[in-house]
Amino acid sequence: MDVIETIKDQISNNRVILYMKGSPNQPQCGFSARTVQALMACGERFAYVDVLSNPEIRANLPQYGNWPTFPQLWVDGELVGGCDIVCEMHEAGELSEVVAGAPESE
């Protein structure tokens, strides 16, 4: 399986997945640490991929998602965003709704 297929598989098989530097227990950058804290505060389970130990994913995911930096949060197959967006959503009370799968109001 090539790396793009691997990325597609990871995103489709995990409702909430975070591509980050390090792991939730040992983030390797401040942006990943802040994103993990916001996600954990929601109380929902999420999958993660350490892009530092997966250089092919680290090299190809920015093109796939059209997002240049890490971390990247994906929910229901859609890119939510990086650290600033995730933290802003958390502060506004929107992140837990997105992560929990609450229907969006129209």
- Specify binding-site residues for [2Fe-2S] cluster: 29
Closest CA to 3 of 73, 53, 55: 55
Identity of the residue numbered 106:
E
Annotated binding site: 21, 29, 58, 70, 83-84
Q: DSSP label at 27?
A: B
* Chain position carrying tokens 């090539």: 2
Question: Do the strands 16-20 and 72-75 form a parallel or antiparallel pair, or are they unpaired?
Answer: antiparallel
Annotated binding site for glutathione: 21, 58, 70, 83-84
Residue 42 to residue 90: CA distance in whole angstroms: 8
Identity of the residue numbered 69:
T
* Chain position carrying tokens 């197959």: 77
